[in-house]
Amino acid sequence: MIEAEGLTKRYGSYLGIEEVSFKIEAGEAVGLLGPNGAGKTTTLRILTCAMSATSGRASVAGYDLFKESMQARRHIGYLPETPPLYPEMTVAAYLRFAASIKGVEPRRIAGRIDDAVELCGLEEMRKRVVGHLSKGYRQRVGIAQALIHEPKAVVLDEPTSGLDPAQIVEIRGLVQRLGHQDRAVLLTTHILAEAQASCGRLLVINRGRIAADIRLNAAGEAVSIQTEKNAPPLLSEGSVVVAARPFDEAMEARLRQIPGAVSVRRASKESALEIQEEEPAWLVEAEPGTDIRGACAATVVEAGGELLKLAPARPSLERIFLNLTQQEAA
């Protein structure tokens, strides 16, 4: 639905983004995550046809953004960081205006306003003047205008910026609902918790390059981490954390002999794969598709040890993010 391949943007001698590539399918909500100045907004401006790239290619709904710009724009819904609102208009009048300039057929405008108002929770605000709304409701109106023409790709730039905690929760829920529908959603943020709460996948961008592609489970934990240059995942899905007594070299050697165990190492809070554990623990990495939990438990018990914990290994997103965005500076 949204595809970028080798996107590069230069501003004179300054390199905004370099060789940015990714693909987002319908039904996915993806967060473009990175520190300020990493290249998030530049990427979004290119994908929404607000600027051209120096090199590379991109498409939305199968339309090339640089060769078929007008066709592509019909399938893009965009909310910039500052919503493009007219404060003197009512919500309904503004959405009617947005629908008309985005080419919605006149006979369908009323229905599209009803759908957008319902989805964004604006039923009681239809007749209110936009300038009299709270910032949270203005943000909802901005999202409604991005959806009014039924786009196949929705792009949101810092959708929770400047909102209070209650408003942030509301916008998160709205983004999640969008991601469960038959459209691709891409949002930017520099706050990890925001992307983690709203998205099932994270693209970490740093210094203009995509540093990692991270897939999350329903609990917001990383289950697959693809680093740049097509490196293999940092941690296979079947890996486990084993905490046991005695915590010694003999027990570690036994764990290494388990069929399907690729590696055994002591969990380190300093590593990119930080595992938060009260007790000292081993990180046992498994071959993809291999379930070694039973073998790990049996190994500890047969050695006369005490099994304190056996759980899936989930790398800390905070540590991964810091590692990916600070390693060049270090």
- Token pair in block for residue 100: 């008309």
- Report the alpha-carbon angle 51-57-59, nearest 5: 85
Predicted pLDDT at 37: 86
Strand partners, 242: 282, 310
- Token pair in block for residue 142: 């901005």
Residue type for position 74: R
Of the pLDDT bands very low, low, confident and very high (cuts 50, 70, 90), residue 229 is low
Strand partners, 307: 244
For 219-228, the CB contacts below 8 A with 24+ separation are: 220/196, 220/317, 221/314, 221/317, 222/314, 222/315, 222/317, 222/320, 223/314, 225/315, 225/320, 227/324
Look at residue 219 and tell me whether its pLDDT is greater than 80. Answer: no
Instruction: Report the Cα–Cα distance between both ends of the chain, in Å, rounded.
Output: 36
* DSSP 8-class letter at 133: S
The H or E element that residue 209 is part of is strand 209-216
Burial of 328 from C-beta contacts in 10 A (0-12 / 13-18 / 19+): exposed
How far is residue 258's CA from residue 181's CA, in Å, rounded to a whole number? 43
CB atoms within 10 A of CB 169: 14
Predicted pLDDT at 315: 67
Helix (H, G, I), strand (E, B) or coil at 283: strand
Residue type for position 234: L
What domains can be seen in the chain, in order of their start residue? 2-227 (3.40.50.300), 240-314 (3.30.70)
Dump pLDDT digits (tens) for 262-286.
989 887 654 445 455 567 899 898 8
Predicted pLDDT at 270: 44
| Angle of helix 165-179 versus helix 135-147 axis, rounded to 10 | 10
Predicted pLDDT at 276: 53
- Token pair in block for residue 274: 């930080």
Of the pLDDT bands very low, low, confident and very high (cuts 50, 70, 90), residue 233 is low
CB atoms within 10 A of CB 3: 19
Residue 49 sits at φ, ψ, to 5 deg, of 65, 20
Look at residue 58 and tell me whether its pLDDT is greater than 50. Answer: yes
How far is residue 281's CA from residue 292's CA, in Å, rounded to a whole number? 16
How far is residue 313's CA from residue 255's CA, in Å, rounded to a whole number? 15
Q: Which residues does 168 contact at the CB level (< 8 Å), separation at least 6?
A: 160, 194
Cis bond upstream, residue 246 (ω within 30): yes
- Token pair in block for residue 137: 């409701």
Look at residue 239 and tell me whether its pLDDT is greater than 80. Answer: yes
Q: Give the range with max mean pLDDT: 124-128, 194-198, 220-224, 308-312.
A: 124-128
CB atoms within 10 A of CB 95: 26
- Token pair in block for residue 176: 């999640």
CB atoms within 10 A of CB 285: 19
Dump pLDDT digits (tens) for 61-74.
999 999 999 999 99
